[in-house]
Structure 1
C-alpha cells in the first residue's frame, strides 16, 4: 500500500478530484488466469488477440497532482507494462517472434515515457518539501526561544498583577507605571505567543514528514527506473533469440547452396528441424513444444509435418506419434 500524502504548512486549497483512471493492474490480474488457460489449450493466437484487446489505445494520462495520485498512476503503469509483457509472451508462443520484439520495444518506449512523466510530476513536490523543511527549521530556530521568553514574561506579569491586586505587593508610583506599561503590551505578546504555539507543531511535523516524502519520491524513481531496466532487458533478450535463429537459418541455407540444394525460403531449415524429432521432443512440456512448432509454422506456413505435430499435441498425443495402420481384412474362404 502506498503512503497517504503529507500536509504542508501553510494549508493550501483543495483541488477537485480527477476521475479514477482505469485500473490496469486489476485488469491484468483478472484476465491472467484465463490467458494462461488459453495457452495451455494451445490457443496462442487467440490469447494474443485477447491480450491486445485489453491494452488501451492510448496510454492513460499520468496524474501528478500529489503523492497519492502519483502513486495511483504508478500502480496503473505497472498494470499497463504487465499487459505489454503478457502480449509479447503470447506473441512468442504463437511463433510470432518478430511481433514479440516489436511489442517489447513498445513496452520500453512506454516505460521511458512513464519515467519522464514521473520526474516532471515529482520535481515541484521535491522543491516544495525542500523549501518547507528549510522554512520550518528557520522557524523553530527563531521561535523556540521566543516562545519560552514570551511565556515567562506573561507568567511573571500575571503573578505580579495578582500580587498587587491582593495587596501583597505595593509598588511605588514608578513601579506602578512600569507595571501598567507592561500590561498594555500583554495582549500583543499573548497574540504572538498564540501564533507561535499554533505554528510550532505544524513546523515540527513538517520536519518529521520531509524525510518520509523524500523516501516516497526516491522509491517512485527507483520503481520507474526498474520498469525501464526490465523492459530494456526484455528487448535485448527477444532480439537475441530472434537473431540467433536467423543466423542459424542463414548458415544452414548457405551450406545447402554449397551442396547445390535448391533453397525455398526457410522451408529447407524447417524440414531439417522436423526430421530430427528431438528438436521438438527435448523441450519440456507440451505447451513449450507447441510454441516451437508454432514458430516453425510462421517460418514455413502450411508445413504439413509441423501442422500434423501440432494437431497431435492438441489431441493429447506425442507430437510425432505414429498412426496405427488399419488391420488387413481376412480373405474370404472359397
Structure 2
C-alpha cells in the first residue's frame, strides 16, 4: 500500500522497517522469548506498522498541517496506536492462543503501546518534513518559472525598444535620398531589409557566436555610412580566437548607435569608431571607442537608453551588475562589455 511518494523515500522506509524488525527480533530473543514468538512478533509488528505508517502518510499528504506537531496529528497518532494494539493482539491471540498471549504478550502491552506511539510520532515527523520539502520545491519551481517569464517579458520589451530611432532615421534618410540619389536609396533599402531580417529572427535569450554579431554590426554600419558618408570610419580589431565565443544577440548595435550619436552628431569632422574583441581571464571583452565633445548639449541631456538597456539585459542574462562599464580618456568615450565564461 504505497501511496504517492517517491521510490527513494519508500525504499528508505522499507529499509528502516526491516532493520527495526530485526532489532525487535533480537531484543526479544535476548529477553528469553521463544524463537517462534520472537520472529512472529517482529513480522507482525513490522507489517502492521508499515500499513499504519502508509495510512498516516496518506492522511498527511491530503491534509498537510502547517506545523509538524499539532493536536490533530497527536490525536491521529493516538488512534493509530490503539488500532495497532487491537490488530497485534488479535493476531497474537489467533496465532499463539490465549494462554501464550497472556504469558508473553499481555505483560508488555503498555510498553509496546508507548514504543509504537513514539515510532509513529517519528514517522509522522518524517512524512511531514518530506511533504513540506515537496511543497517548498514546487513553490520554488513556480517562482523560478515566474521569474523566467518576467525576465523573458522584460527582455522582449527591451528588444522592442532597441531599434526605433535607428529605423526612423534610416527611413528619413531613404526618403531624402530617393530624390537626390535613387541608387543609394535603393542600396540603403536592401541593406536595411537585410539588417532587419537578421534582427527580427533572433531570439534575444539565445546566445550566438560573436562572429555573427560582428557581421550584423557591419550591416548596420553600412547603412549608417550611407547617411553620414565619408565622415564615418570604422576600425575593427577582432581576435580570431574569439570568433566562436557565444554572446547575446543584438548586443553591439545599441552601443555602436550610441557611439555614432555622440561621436558624429554636433561634429563635422571625420570620426573613427573602434571595435575591439579579445579574450580576458574572466571572459570575453568587447571594447567600443568613439570621440566625443564634452560640451555637446545632446551628450549632456541624452538619456542613454542604449547603454542602459544593454546593462539591464546583461544583468538579466548573467545575473551580474558590472558587465558594462564606461570611461572617458581625453576626448574618447570608451564602452567595455564583459561576457563571463
Q: TM-score, normalised by structure 2?
A: 0.32
Higher relative contact order (CA 8 A, sep 6+): 1
- Structure (1 or 2) with the greater helix fraction: 1
